[in-house]
Amino acid sequence: MNATVLRWLILVAVGYATLAALARLLASRALYHPEVASRTTPPEARRLRGPDGHDVVVRHLPNPAAPLTLWFLHGNAEDLGDLEPFLRQLHAAGFAVYAYDYPGYGGSGGSPTEASIYAAARVARTHLRRELGVPPERTLLVGRSLGGGPAVQLATEEPVAGLVLQSTFASVYRVLTWWRLLPFDLFENERKLPAVGCPVLVIHGRQDEVIPVRHGEALFAAARGPKFSWWVPDAGHNDLTERAGPRYLSELRAFAGACRSGRAP
């Protein structure tokens, strides 16, 4: 190998390492915006102490008549303070409802990273299982946008009743590139989905300007268990529930019924 080729290889390696470092830095800055959310905690919320000493704030709306507890995992730039009216809509639709704030969001302590979000989810899950008495087979996970990451991870760890992915990415870096340019990524939902055995419903707006619908299509293709899709024609990223109207809750109820009966909605 002559000196010129060696220099070019060194330059390529340095450039690639710089790209990888920048990608991680920029992805973290784009992913997490707790400061945009309400920064409030509903009075009825519960504070749990995580193993790292930080609080994990959870919200539970019980419904003894509900066959399933819908665990809603929220998106970026929102927290339990913002979600309270929406969670009450889900509750009025016939679900028991559960949610938690990621580290750094709302009243939860710490800083948001992929690892810390998963760790906080496991703290919330222990509370849901042991104190509230809700088993995995009666838990319906619904992850919106960023929330699809912890929802998929939780679904790989125990046999939940079902998994809904709304406006979720295949993985973080591929929102910008689509192709795999780096040997690592964040929230690799598409890669993990084949390990999920429960029914999966993918909901995505055809006009999503933040996470293009091709991500939803990739997630649907990756799911190996019973799977269903709903592509909302005129919906973007932040207006899907409004554009969908009453059908949104109807689709969730139909999917929940399918999860319990084993039939397609």
Residues labelled as active-site residues: 145, 208, 237
Q: Strand 200-205: give its sheet, edge to edge.
A: 46-49, 55-61, 96-100, 69-73, 139-144, 162-166, 200-205, 227-232
Greatest CA separation for the chain: 75
151 backbone φψ class: left, alpha, beta (φ>0; ψ -120 to 50): alpha
Residue 233 DSSP label: T
> What are the phi and psi torsion angles at 185 (to 5°)?
-155, 180
60 backbone φψ class: left, alpha, beta (φ>0; ψ -120 to 50): beta
Q: Which helix (H) or strand (E) holds 5?
A: helix 3-31
62: CB partners within 8 A, 6+ apart: 96, 132
197 backbone φψ class: left, alpha, beta (φ>0; ψ -120 to 50): alpha
| Residue bearing tokens 């799911």 | 223
Picking from 145, 116, 157, 154, the residue whose alpha carbon sits closest to that of residue 219 is: 145
User: Quick one: tokens of 196?
Assistant: 């999920």
